[in-house]
C-alpha cells in the first residue's frame, strides 16, 4: 500500500486557506498531512478541513493538533484519512516547553506500525535567548530520535527543522555561515542524526550531490524568482521506511503570486 505523506509549514493555516491552499490540497491528495506553524486553534482546523471536504468530498479528516503555549505562535498538526492509533507530544525534560513543536502519531498500515512526527524547530537568533531555546530543542530532539531509530520501525520525522545541513541546502551558504540556520553548532546535530544515529534524509537521498531542491524562500527581494532558497523542510526516515520511499517532490508554486506560504510542501510516497 502506497501512503502519500506531505509536510508543509503553512505560516498560519487560516491565511493559507484564504490564499490558495485548498486548490493545492485538492490536487495533492495526501493520505497523511503534517503541518507546522499552524497558529490557530483546533476548532479552526476542524472547520477548515470540514469545509474542504464538504466542497471536494473524500474520506473524513482525522485531526491531531498541539498548540504552542503562546497563543497564535507555532503549533503542529497531523491530519490523516485513517485515524491514528495513539499520539504523543512529550519531548525533553518536564521543565522544557516543547508545546506546539513536536507531535508523534502512530498509524496501523497493513498491520505495520507507522509513526509520523510533525515538528517545528525554532528559527533562532544568534546571541539571544531564542538561540538557546533552539539548542535546547535540538538536544531534546536528538535524544528522542536516538530512541526512535533503535526501534527499527517505520518512522518519519517531518517538518520545518530550520537548519540547512550542508552547503547544498542553501543557495547563499557563504553569506550565512554566521547566521542562525547554518551555524556549525546547528549543523552538527544533523551530522549526528544522519551519520551516527542512522536517519535517512529522504530528500537528499533522492537528489544526491545537487543544490536543493529548496523548500523555503525569503519574502525579501527576488529570492523566490531567482530561486535563492533554503532546504530546511525534511523527511527524515528510519532505514526501514526510507527503503520503501519513492517519488520525493517539492511542490513549489508556479509563481510568487500563487504562493500560499513562504514554504513549499514536501511529498513522499511510502510503499508500506
- Return the pLDDT at 92: 86
Rounded Cα gap, residues 62 and 257, in angstroms = 31
- Whether 128 has a pLDDT exceeding 90, the answer reads yes
Instruction: Give the pLDDT band of residue 97 (cuts 50, 70, 90).
Output: confident
Cell output for 226: 531567482
Beta carbons of 106 and 85 less than 8 angstroms apart: yes
The answer to which of 69-73, 98-102, 130-134, 258-262 has the lowest mean pLDDT is: 69-73
Q: Per this entry, what is the length of the chain?
A: 272
Q: How confident is the model over 51-57, as a mean pLDDT? A: 95
Helix (H/G/I), strand (E/B), else coil: 202: helix
Average pLDDT, the chain: 96
- Return the pLDDT at 223: 96
DSSP string, 10-40: -SSHHHHHHTTHHHHHHHH--SEEEEE---S
Q: How confident is the model over 45-71, as a mean pLDDT? A: 94
Helix (H/G/I), strand (E/B), else coil: 209: coil
Cβ neighbours around 187 below 10 Å, total = 17
Give the phi and the psi of residue 124 in degrees, each rounded to 5: 80, 165
Instruction: Give the pLDDT band of residue 70 (cuts 50, 70, 90).
Output: confident
Rounded Cα gap, residues 230 and 257, in angstroms = 19
- Whether 29 has a pLDDT exceeding 90, the answer reads yes
Cell output for 11: 505560516
Instruction: Give the pLDDT band of residue 113 (cuts 50, 70, 90).
Output: very high
Q: How confident is the model over 164-187, as a mean pLDDT? A: 97
Enumerate residues 6+ apart whose C-beta is below 8 A from 247.
267, 268, 269
Instruction: Tell whether pTM > 0.75.
Output: yes
Indicate the fold that domain 2-271 takes in CATH: Deoxyribonuclease I; Chain A (3.60.10)
User: What number of CA atoms fall less than 13 Å from residue 157's CA on the CB side?
Assistant: 26
User: What number of CA atoms fall less than 13 Å from residue 227's CA on the CB side?
Assistant: 8
Q: How confident is the model over 53-76, as a mean pLDDT? A: 93
Amino acid at each position: 500500500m502506497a501512503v502519500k505523506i506531505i509536510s508543509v509549514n503553512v505560516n498560519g493555516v487560516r491565511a493559507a486557506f484564504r490564499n490558495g491552499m485548498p486548490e493545492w490540497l485538492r490536487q495533492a491528495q495526501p493520505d497523511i498531512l503534517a503541518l507546522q506553524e499552524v497558529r490557530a486553534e483546533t476548532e479552526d482546523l476542524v472547520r477548515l478541513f470540514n469545509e474542504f471536504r464538504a466542497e471536494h468530498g473524500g474520506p473524513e479528516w482525522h485531526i491531531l493538533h498541539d498548540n504552542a503555549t503562546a497563543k497564535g505562535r507555532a503549533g503542529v498538526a497531523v491530519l490523516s484519512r485513517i485515524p491514528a492509533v495513539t499520539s504523543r507530544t512529550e519531548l525533553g525534560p518536564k521543565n522544557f516547553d516543547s508545546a506546539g513543536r513536536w507531535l508523534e502519531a502512530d498509524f496501523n498500515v497493513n498491520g505495520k506500525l507507522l509513526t509520523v512526527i510533525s515538528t517545528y524547530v525554532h528559527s533562532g537568533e544568534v546571541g539571544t535567548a531564542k538561540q538557546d531555546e533552539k539548542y535546547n530543542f535540538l538536544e531534546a530532539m536528538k535524544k528522542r530520535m536516538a530512541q526512535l531509530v533503535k526501534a527499527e520501525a517505520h518512522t518519519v520525522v517531518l517538518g520545518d527543522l530550520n537548519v540547512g545541513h550542508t552547503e547544498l541546502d542553501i543557495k547563499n551558504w557563504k553569506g550565512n555561515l554566521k547566521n542562525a540556520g547554518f551555524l556549525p553548532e546547528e549543523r552538527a546535530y544533523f551530522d549526528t542524526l544522519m551519520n551516527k544515529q542512522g536517519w535517512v534524509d529522504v530528500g537528499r537521498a533522492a537528489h544526491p550531490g545537487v543544490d536543493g531542491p529548496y523548500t523555503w524562500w525569503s519574502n525579501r527581494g527576488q529570492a523566490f524568482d531567482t530561486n535563492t532558497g533554503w532546504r530546511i523542510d525534511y523527511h527524515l526516515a528510519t532505514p526501514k521506511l526510507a527503503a520503501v520511499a519513492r517519488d520525493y517532490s517539492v511542490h513549489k508554486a508556479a509563481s510568487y503570486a500563487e504562493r500560499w506560504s513562504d514554504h513549499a510542501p514536501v511529498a513522499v510516497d511510502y510503499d508500506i
